[in-house]
Structure 1
Amino acid sequence: MSSYEAPALVISECQEGILDAERSVSSGLAEQAASRSIVERIARLARAFRIRGLPVVHCIIEHRPDQAGMLPNSYLGAMALRSRSMTAGTADVAIPAPLGPEPADIVSSRATGLTAFYGTDLDAMLRHHRVRTVVLTGVSTNVALPGLALEAVNRGYDVVLAEDCTAGSSAQAHAFFVHQQLKLLARVVTADEVVARLHQESSARS
C-alpha cells in the first residue's frame, strides 16, 4: 500500500437520525451500519488519527428549522422535506458518543444538497490543515460517499476508502457501489490496513 500524504479521517453522516433504526428514514441503512459494526471501527480509526495529531472531520447534515434552501428535486430531498428529519437542534443530528466529537475534531455541517463539499467549509478546513489524503468512512456507499470521493478527486485530494467502516442501504447496494464506482475513485482498504499504515509512517518519522 502506498503512503498516505498528510491524511485526515473523514466521517460521513454518522448521526443518530441516520444510524438509529427507530429514527432513521432509511431502516435498511441503519440495519446495515449496525450489522457491519461501523461505529466501533470508525471510533478505533479516530483514536489512531487523534493520537498522531491528525485531523478527524465529521461531515454532518443539519437542515435549518425553516427548511430554507431545501428542494424536492430528488427523492432524498423530497423525503427530507416531508419527514422534517435531520433538523438542527434535534436529536437527529447528534453524533454517536463513541465517535465524539472531541474538542480538536472538525465538524462540517450542511443545510442543503446531498454531498459533503456542497455549501460547506470542508475544503477550506482540509486545506487549512494541509491535508492531501482523505480517508473516508461512514454512510452511505449509495450516495454520500461516491459523491464525496468524486468531489475530493476533483479538488486534487488522494482518496482512501476504509471499506469495513462504511455501509449502504443493503448488502447488495454496498457491494455494487464499492466495486463498480468507489474503486474507480479511491484505494479501497480495511480499517486495520489504515491503522497499520499510520503506525508504519509514524515509526519512519521517529
Structure 2
Amino acid sequence: MNLFDPTTTALVCIDLQGANLSHGAEPHSPEEVLDQSLRLLAAARAAGSLVVHVRTSFLPDESDSLQPLRIERMRPARPHREPGWDELLPEVAPTPTEPVIAKRSWNAFHGSDLDVQLRRHGVKTIVLLGMSTNYGVEGTGRAAYENYYNVVFANEAMSSVTAEGHEFSVKNILPLIGVVRSVDEIVGAFAGALTDEVAV
C-alpha cells in the first residue's frame, strides 16, 4: 500500500522564511532544508495535493507573542528584526490556491485557521517539514496528532539549532505521534509509488 493517499494529504511547510533560514542549522544546513523542501513542494503540487505555508509573524512590538508568567529558562531578549524577516522565501512562493497561515507560537494550529483549512479540503494526513524540528515542526505535529490527523515527518527537510535537538525529536518524540520518512520515500508516495505502509 501507499504511504498515504495524495488526494487526502497536505504538505504543511513550517517557517520557510528569511529569519529561520539565515542562520546555522544542524544536522541539515538551511540550504539542504530548502532544497529538500522544494522537492516535496514540486511532488505535492504535481500530485494535486494541498500545500499550506506557515510563517511566524508578530506585531512590530511583538505584543502578540507569548508572554508566560513563569518559565524555567528565560528566553533571550527579542532580537532585532530585519525587514522582511517574516516573509516566506521567494523560492517557496505560494500559488494563489495555497493557504498561508500566520502563527505566533510553536504550534501552528493554535489561534489560526489551519485546522479549518485542512478539514475544508478533506485532509486526513499531513506531511510536515521546515524549521525547526523540535520547535515549530514538533509543536505542530503534536497538535496534529491530538486533532486526529495522520502525520508524516520529512527527515531531511527539517533541521534545528543543534543536531542533538533534531535527533532527540526524530528518535524519541516524532515516532510517537506519526512516522518519520526520507524525502525520497515521501516524494515516491506523492507519485503513487507502493510501499509497505497502510494507506491513510
Instruction: Return the alpha-carbon distance in structure 1 between the equivalents of residues 186 and 162 of structure 2.
Output: 25
Point out 4+ residue stretches in structure 1 off by more than 2 angstroms.
31-36, 66-79
With the length of structure 2 as denominator, give the TM-score of the two structures. 0.85
CA distance in 2 between counterparts of 1:65 and 1:117 reads 22
Aligned 8 A contact 1:36 1:164 in 2:
no
Letter in 2 for 1:199: A
Q: Which amino acid aligns with 1:63?
A: F
What's the CA shift for 1:184? 1.1
Q: Distance in 2 between matches of 1:149 and 1:138?
A: 12
The alignment yields a C-alpha RMSD, in angstroms, of: 2.4
Question: Does the 8 A contact of 1:19 with 1:33 survive in 2?
Answer: no
Structure 2: segments with no counterpart, 5+ residues:
195-200
> Which of 17, 38, 52 pairs up with 1:57?
52
Q: Which residue of structure 2 lines up, in the alignment, with residue 82 of structure 1?
A: 78
Which structure has more RCO (C-alpha within 8 Å, separation ≥ 6)?
Answer: 2
Q: Which residue of structure 1 aligns with residue 154 of structure 2?
A: 162
Give the secondary-structure state (helix, strand or coil) at the position aligned to 1:40: helix
Residue matched to 1:9:
11
Structure 1 gap ranges (5+): 22-27
Decide whether the 8 Å contact of 2:106 with 2:140 is kept in 1: no
Query: Sequence identity, in percent?
Result: 29
CA, structure 1 residues 151+39, in 2 after alignment: closer, same or farther (shift >3 Å)? same
Matches within 5 A, 1:31-180: 32-34=27-29, 37-73=32-68, 78-79=75-76, 82-85=78-81, 90-110=83-103, 112-180=104-172
TM-score by length of 1: 0.82
CA distance in 1, matches of 2:126, 2:65: 28
